[in-house]
């Protein structure tokens, strides 16, 4: 069993996957939260209702979300080189991962904000809160469980995206699975990588659920 498995190779690939996941998740949250807030605020009947801005943001988000990730990887190649100087390795994988995941996450953030009772917004307005204060001190704290649950879902989607990024030279567990497990018929390598990805997803879900439970006060 596991004759073909080079455990140090597996270790390196796991670290690469974790780096890609960590880096892209952080950037996705940094971009996705403000984008989600803008989508929410510019929506009909909201604090900064702006049909034009909302339509434009919505369109861009929908376009990016409807491009299959494998296509986005290839389309993004020149942009990636421009941004990080290479299209290979962990660094080369992060821009397409973020562009693929941030719009998805922004929608989840928008949904979480919509779930906040509008009475809370009204009360904060009545207390003399500015729009910025309403967002940062009332809306986001109230929506935190949803924002974190959304980050969990996004992180898990990113795990499968990192596996795909492996195909265009990003490295990581997905790359191993394709190069050895698929192209060289090394089923044992395939099994090990799949099990590791599965464990990773389970851990992410567990952490996400625990954090959500800790910040929920309903």
Partner 1 sequence: MIRLEGVTRRYRSAAGERVALDSADLHVAKGEVFGVVGRSGAGKSTLIRTINRLETPDAGKVFVDGQEITALNPAELRAARRRIGMIFQHFNLLNAKTIAQNVAFPLRLEGRPEAEVKARTAELLERLGLSEHANKHPAQLSGGQKQRVGIARALACGPGVLLCDEATSALDPETTEEILTLLDGLNRDLGLTIVLITHQMEVVRRVCDRVAVLKDGRIVEQGATADVFLHPQHPVTRAMLAEGEEAFDASVVPAGARLAKLTFRGASTYEPELSRVARSVGVDYSILSGRISRIRGEPYGQLVVAFTGGDAEAAVAQLTARGVSVESVLGEAA
The residue ranges that bind partner 1 (CB under 8 A) are: 117, 119-120, 122-130, 133, 137-138, 141-142, 144, 215, 217-218
The Cα–Cα gap between 135 and 115 comes to 14
Least distance (Å) from partner 1 to the CB of residue 130? Answer: 6
Report CA 200 to chain centroid distance, whole Å.
15
Q: Which residue has the tokens 């796991």?
A: 14
Least distance (Å) from partner 1 to the CB of residue 18? Answer: 31
- Is 74 or 127 the residue whose CB approaches partner 1 more closely? 127
The DSSP secondary structure of 54-91, one letter per residue, reads HHHHHHHHHHHHHS-HHHHHHHTHHHHHHHHS-SSHHH
Least distance (Å) from partner 1 to the CB of residue 217? Answer: 4
Residue 76 vs residues 37, 108, 196: alpha-carbon distances, Å = 25, 23, 28
Q: Tokens standing for 133?
A: 């204060």
**Contacts of 130 by beta carbon, 8 Å cutoff, 6+ apart:** none
- Is 71 or 126 the residue whose CB approaches partner 1 more closely? 126
- Is 20 or 121 the residue whose CB approaches partner 1 more closely? 121
- The kind and range of the H/E element at 43 are none
Least distance (Å) from partner 1 to the CB of residue 143? Answer: 9
Least distance (Å) from partner 1 to the CB of residue 212? Answer: 12
- Is 47 or 84 the residue whose CB approaches partner 1 more closely? 47
- Is 72 or 120 the residue whose CB approaches partner 1 more closely? 120
């Amino acid at each position: 069993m596991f004759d073909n498995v080079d455990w140090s190779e597996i270790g390196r690939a796991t670290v690469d996957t974790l780096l890609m996941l960590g880096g892209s998740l952080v950037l996705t949250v940094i971009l996705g939260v403000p984008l989600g807030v803008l989508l929410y605020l510019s929506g009909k009947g909201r604090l900064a209702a702006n049909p034009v801005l909302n339509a434009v943001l919505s369109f861009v988000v929908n376009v990016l979300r409807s491009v299959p990730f494998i296509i986005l990887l290839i389309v993004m190649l020149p942009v990636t080189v421009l941004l990080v100087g290479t299209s290979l390795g962990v660094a080369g994988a992060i821009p397409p991962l973020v562009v693929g995941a941030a719009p998805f996450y922004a929608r989840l953030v928008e949904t979480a904000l919509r779930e906040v009772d509008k009475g809370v917004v009204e009360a904060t307005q009545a207390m003399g809160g500015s729009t910025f204060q309403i967002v940062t001190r009332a809306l986001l704290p109230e929506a935190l469980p949803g924002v974190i649950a959304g980050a969990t879902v996004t992180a898990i989607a990113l795990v499968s995206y990192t596996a795909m990024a492996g195909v265009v030279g990003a490295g990581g567990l997905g790359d191993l699975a394709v190069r050895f497990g698929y192209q060289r018929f090394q089923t044992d390598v395939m099994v090990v990588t799949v099990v590791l990805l599965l464990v990773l997803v389970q851990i992410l879900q567990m952490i996400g659920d625990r954090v959500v439970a800790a910040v929920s006060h309903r």
